[in-house]
Structure 1
């Protein structure tokens, strides 16, 4: 981010003052003053109330730096507490959602009443809107991007698992929010769950792109890391399972990891040949897999594995060693990225009973970070699973944010 970006954003902030103070209806503003900046606020749309979230809610239509190197359309929810802000403005919690889809743009937080891209609707009670309500109640503004390639304005594919894209979705959302709402603080923290937890682990390295803002720290809930290790563990558990149902579950979850990674890699490298890492049965599921929200997408692989059983032609044994996939994981999975570390305060929270992101692998990742000197607090919650960890860790998350914003 350069000085020219600030010069572009500040005029837009003034133009949106009426919206920030409660003007009604659509409030489109031309981005002519934004010049070539990759981040430009285009318009603001009032959003309906969300049960349990006592906030003013707006949808920001803006641009962000895309993985292809050019600005792309993006949308971000901005939720602000009602009433007047504290001195210095509302501190910003930049919040990133987990996997809502491998590639269907309508499976985005802004497009669903629970702010979770359809997870609750489809059977996974996410508690995302509950957590956002807790942040609002604590006096924070929440910036929640749909992510690059998701949401109503998206015109490019969703680059699933791209760490830089996930980080820049948050950064662009925060910059757009500051343009739309001058009553925001210049202090912000990143909070994410699952793949969003993975995404916020990439923010610190790029936080300097949010010119003029002070990054306070990171909270990652069940961050989705150690992909190759997860696939191997699920596969081994399936082979050692005591019954057919457990064996099927392990095999299906192993294939799910590879399908997600192949989807993300193909967006950034269209020349990638999926046959290099998988057999024909898994490859045949991918077109439909990518067109669905998460629960239905998992169901597509589940049904295909059930049909073929042990004869299912899926991930190859050395799938993660294929050169393009190996480079993709090394660049985007903090658990295997050479030299990856954190230098600012971070909190990772993990449920011990999580069936998707395994506690043992998360603990190995956290131990590696701490051994390297990262200022990390790591907490494990007995009995908590992938989603219930959000409520179980609530007090610890709020306490961590309070401490960082007080520094």
Structure 2
């Protein structure tokens, strides 16, 4: 496995040394050197390593740190997760900076797809440029921003793409990690915002985040074009359509490999045709953007003849967003011309939440594509935050 970023190489070397890579609390020094904490710690949120980086795309950030921290995996086992932390230029308020956790969209399952390792010309750079504008809007409002990579992206182990429990853990433990960064002060108030894959993560956090981290105060959640409505449908669609598009052919291996990372018994290599197996193997080392540009033709068949997909579809169904009922105010933003996340599915989820009488607002983006929900978010967060903080009702269920 090739690791591009030096801090990830350091973490991997420390994993073999356990307690020999130990210092005191992770107070950031006045230089650019890496610091590491107790790599054997199982306490969620423990910062394991930290390094300052250039703020780069984040023009409203005063400082940017690359971190690794202890989190929990699919089965709540201790794992190492990477991410980056942005501090605003605003003066620290008396109660500390409030926190936004950013849950990113689909990049792939390979280590090189971790957004914290982004670089100009890299496989996730175009997406990061769009995300940076959205996050700069939060920084301008005085929020610290923590952006986890999710389990297995840039760190040991596979990435269980769209696994609800794993995404909940990496997001919640990112909040804990932020509060371990000394000598800075952070408020216990926090929000989560995510796009696409991260939109599904935001919905899971909206449902269970406060219960998972009762020591903090989850104020609200924003889901931008959230994927995962009737998630098992992607497998059923591929199985029932004799000729899929190249876009689906590039994306579906990520679904399969993510399921395998969460449940090795799924073994997608035993399910797919030889032609699809070639793309599947490529997806182990290539990001979504690379798969999309490399793939010139979709395979004629995806699955082996008479394959039993029951195990796969049952697993995918458990990750579906309709299993998630928000317990905090929720804003959903969805482009009505989105070709990747169906507007109809997102709206059906919204109606489900309305029936449960939970505080939710739905904002359609007219003629918006998949990334327009992310682009528009910077213009929508202000009114949502103000409504939450002022205790106003968040509800568009009765509007026409």
**TM-score of the superposition, structure 2-length normalised?**
0.82
User: Which residue of 1 is the match for residue 167 of structure 2?
Assistant: 166
**SS of residue in 2 equivalent to 1:196:** helix
**1:344 partnered with 2:351:** no
Greater helix fraction, Structure 1 or Structure 2: 1
Alpha-carbon offset, residue 268 of structure 1: 1.7
Alpha-carbon offset, residue 156 of structure 1: 1.1
User: Which residue of 2 is the match for residue 134 of structure 1?
Assistant: 137
Paired residues, number: 365
Alpha-carbon offset, residue 118 of structure 1: 3.0
Asked if structure 1 preserves the Cα contact closer than 8 Å seen for 2:232 and 2:317, the reply is no
**Closer, same or farther: CA 49–275 of 1 in aligned 2, 3 Å:** closer
**SS of residue in 2 equivalent to 1:94:** strand
Distance 1:285 1:296 in 2: 11
- The residue correspondences of 1:41-56 to structure 2 (distance < 5 A) are 41-55=47-61, 56=63
Alpha-carbon offset, residue 391 of structure 1: 2.5
User: Which residue of 2 is the match for residue 294 of structure 1?
Assistant: 288
**1:374 partnered with 2:358:** yes
Which of 184, 196, 203 lines up with 2:198 in the alignment?
Answer: 196
Distance 1:374 1:214 in 2: 18
Alpha-carbon offset, residue 304 of structure 1: 4.3
Distance 2:122 2:81 in 1: 15
**1:89 partnered with 2:96:** yes
Gaps of 5+ in 1: 1-11, 240-247
Asked if structure 2 preserves the Cα contact closer than 8 Å seen for 1:198 and 1:223, the reply is yes
Distance 1:400 1:84 in 2: 23
Which of 329, 341, 353 lines up with 2:337 in the alignment?
Answer: 353
Asked if structure 2 preserves the Cα contact closer than 8 Å seen for 1:98 and 1:194, the reply is yes
Alpha-carbon offset, residue 277 of structure 1: 4.8
- The residue correspondences of 1:195-344 to structure 2 (distance < 5 A) are 195-203=197-205, 204-226=207-229, 227-229=231-233, 251-256=245-250, 258-274=252-268, 277-300=271-294, 302-305=295-298, 312-315=300-303, 322-335=309-322, 337=323, 340-344=324-328
**SS of residue in 2 equivalent to 1:46:** strand
CA RMSD of aligned residues (A): 3.0
For residues 361-392 of structure 1, the C-alpha deviation after alignment (integer angstroms, 9 at most, x for no partner) is 22122212212223211111112111122222
For residues 55-104 of structure 1, the C-alpha deviation after alignment (integer angstroms, 9 at most, x for no partner) is 11111221111225421111121111125212211111100110111x21
Alpha-carbon offset, residue 129 of structure 1: 0.8
**Closer, same or farther: CA 117–369 of 1 in aligned 2, 3 Å:** farther
Which of 186, 189, 200 lines up with 1:187 in the alignment?
Answer: 189
Asked if structure 2 preserves the Cα contact closer than 8 Å seen for 1:90 and 1:183, the reply is yes
**1:118 partnered with 2:111:** no
**SS of residue in 2 equivalent to 1:260:** helix
Distance 2:267 2:192 in 1: 35
Gaps of 5+ in 2: 1-21, 392-400
Alpha-carbon offset, residue 398 of structure 1: 2.7
User: Which residue of 2 is the match for residue 4 of structure 1?
Assistant: none
**Closer, same or farther: CA 405–43 of 1 in aligned 2, 3 Å:** farther
Distance 2:274 2:222 in 1: 39
For residues 315-369 of structure 1, the C-alpha deviation after alignment (integer angstroms, 9 at most, x for no partner) is 47998x833213212221113x3xx311221011001121111212221222122
For residues 228-267 of structure 1, the C-alpha deviation after alignment (integer angstroms, 9 at most, x for no partner) is 445667899x88xxxxxxxx7x533444554232111111
**SS of residue in 1 equivalent to 2:112:** coil
Q: Which moved more, 1:174-183 or 1:65-74?
A: 65-74
**SS of residue in 2 equivalent to 1:186:** strand
**1:109 partnered with 2:115:** yes
